[in-house]
Structure 1
Amino acid sequence: MEEKKQQTFFEKVSKLKIGFIPLPIYLILVVVYLLLTVNKIMPNDMMGAIGVMTLFSFILEEVGKHIPILNSLGGKVLVVTFLPSFLVYKSWLPESSIETVTAFMKNNNFLSFFIALLIVGSICSMNRKTLLKASSRIILILIICDVVGALVGTGVGMLLGLSAFEAFFFVVAPIMAGGVGEGALPLSIGYAGLIATQQADIFASILPCVMLGSLVAVIFAGLLKKLGEKHPELTGNGQLIDGDDEHLDNLKGGKVDVDIEKMLVTGVLAITLYLLGVWVNHVIHLPAPIVLLVAVMGAKMLGWIPKDIENGGHSLYSLTVKGITPPLLFGVGVAMTPWGSLVKVFTHVPMLITIFATVLSIVLTAYFVGKALGMYPVDTAIAVSCCSGQGGTGALAILAAGDRMELMPFAQVSVRLGGAMMVTTAIFLMSLFV
Structure 2
Amino acid sequence: MSDLARSATPAEHKPPGVPGRRERDSDGFPSDDRTPTLWHRCMDRDIGIVPLPVFVVLAALIAALAATGHITGELAVVIGIMVVFAFALAEIGKRVPVLRSVGGAAIFVTLVPSWLAHQGWIPKAAVESIGGFFTDTKVLSLFIAFVIVGSIMSMDRTVLVRGFARIFVPLLAGSVVALVVGTAVGTATGLGFKHTVFFVVVPIMAGGVGEGAIPLTIGYAGVLGAAQGELLARVLPAIFVGNLTAVLLAGLLSQVCRRRPDLTGNGRLDAGEGPDLLEAAESGPGERTSVTAQQVAAAGITAVTLYLAGVLAHSLLGWPAPVVMLVLAVILKVAHGVTPRLQYGSRFVYDFCLAAMAFPMLFTFSATQTPWETLVEGFSPAPLVTCVLTVCAMVGTGFLVARKVGLHPAETALVTATHSGMGGAGDIAILTAADRMRLMPFAQIATRIGGGITVTLALVAAHTFGL
- For normalisation by structure 2, the TM-score amounts to 0.70
Shift of 1:268: 1.1
Residue of structure 2 aligned with 1:332, choices 358, 361, 365: 365
Q: Deviations over 1:13-33 (max 9, x none)?
A: 223221232111111101110
**In the alignment, residue 281 of structure 2 is paired with which amino acid?**
D
Query: Which residue of structure 2 lines up, in the alignment, with residue 156 of structure 1?
Result: 185
Secondary structure class of the residue paired with 2:289: coil
Alpha-carbon distance, 1:304 to partner = 2.0
Any idea what SS the aligned residue of 1:233 has?
coil
Is the counterpart of residue 57 in structure 1 residue 86 in structure 2? Answer: yes
Q: Deviations over 1:10-63 (max 9, x none)?
A: 223223221232111111101110111111221224333221111111121111
In 1, distance between residues paired with 2:268 and 2:108? 25
Equivalent residue letter for 1:117: F
Q: 1: CA distance between counterparts of 2:390 and 2:428?
A: 21
Query: Once the 2 structures are TM-superposed, how far is the Cα of residue 111 of structure 1 from its aligned partner?
Result: 2.7
Tell whether 2:327 aligns with 1:294: yes
Q: 1:67 aligns with which of 86, 96, 116?
A: 96
* Corresponding position: 1:304 with 2:337: yes
Residue type of the alignment partner of 1:354: T
Paired residues for 1:235-314 under 5 Å? 242=278, 244-245=281-282, 256-314=289-347
Q: How does 1:328-407 map to 2 (within 5 A)?
A: 328-346=361-379, 348-365=380-397, 369=401, 373=405, 374=407, 377=412, 380-381=415-416, 383-385=418-420, 395=423, 398=426
Judged with a 3 Å threshold, the aligned counterparts in structure 2 of structure 1 residues 298 and 271 are, in CA distance, closer, same or farther, namely same
Residue type at the aligned position of 1:296: A
Q: What's 1:170 paired with?
A: 195
Please say if residues 321 and 405 of structure 1, whose CA atoms lie closer than 8 Å, have aligned partners that are also in contact.
Answer: no
Q: Note if 1:122 corresponds to 2:159.
A: no
C-alpha displacement at 1:269, in angstroms? 0.9
Larger Rg: 2
Q: Deviations over 1:75-116 (max 9, x none)?
A: 111112111121122222111122222223333332332222
* Residues 315, 421 of structure 1: alpha-carbon distance in 2 compared, 3 angstrom cutoff: closer
Q: Work out the CA distance in 2 between the residues paired with 1:370 and 1:40.
A: 61
1:194 aligns to what? none
Preserved CA contact (<8 Å) 2:242 2:391: yes
Any conservation in 1 of the 2:170–2:416 contact (CA below 8 Å)?
no
Aligned residue type for 1:300: K
Matching of residue 211 in structure 1 with residue 227 in structure 2: no
**CA deviation digits over 1:135-169, x for unaligned, max 9?**
45666556534432233224434665x3xxx4423
User: TM (normalized to structure 1)?
Assistant: 0.75
* Pair 1:359–1:102, CA change in 2 (3 A): farther
Residue 176 of structure 1 aligns to a residue whose secondary structure is: helix
Moved over 6 A (4+): 224-232, 246-250, 403-409, 426-431
Kindly tell me: are residues 116 and 157 of structure 1, through their superposed partners in 2, closer, same or farther at Cα, counting changes over 3 Å? closer
Alpha-carbon contact 2:143-2:357 (below 8 Å) kept: yes
Gaps of 5+ in 1: 190-198, 387-393
- Matched with 1:181 is 217
Change (3 A) 1:102 1:411: farther
Shift of residue 287 of structure 1? 1.8
Amino acid at match of 1:352: L
1:306-329 CA distance string (max 9 Å, x none): 222122223222212211122222
Q: Which range moved further: 75-84 or 173-182?
A: 173-182
- What is the aligned length? 395
Residue 338 of structure 2 aligns to a residue whose secondary structure is coil
Q: Secondary structure at the match of 1:256?
A: coil
Match of 2:73 in 1: 44
Distance 2:74 2:249 in 1: 38
Alpha-carbon contact 1:281-1:288 (below 8 Å) kept: yes
Structure 1 counterpart of 2:384, which letter? L
Instruction: Tell whether 2:449 aligns with 1:417.
Output: no
Whole-angstrom distance in 2 between the partners of 1:140 and 1:248:
30
CA contact (8 A) 1:77 1:401 kept: no
Gaps of 5+ in 2: 1-28, 30-35, 204-212, 258-264, 270-275, 432-439
CA–CA separation in structure 1 for the residues paired with 2:456 and 2:338: 29
The 1:416–1:15 alpha-carbon spacing in structure 2 relative to 1, beyond 3 Å, is closer
Q: 1:426 to 1:271 in 2, by over 3 A?
A: closer
- State the SS of the aligned residue for 1:385: coil
Structure 2 SS opposite 1:44: coil
**Match for 1:109 among 114, 117, 138?**
138
Q: CA 1:132–1:339 in 2, change beyond 3 Å: closer, same or farther?
A: same
Structure 1 residues 426, 299: CA separation in 2 closer, same or farther (over 3 Å shift)? Answer: closer
Identity value in percent: 26
Q: Does the CA-based 8 Å contact 2:93-2:108 persist in structure 1?
A: yes
Bigger shift: 172-181 or 33-42?
Answer: 172-181
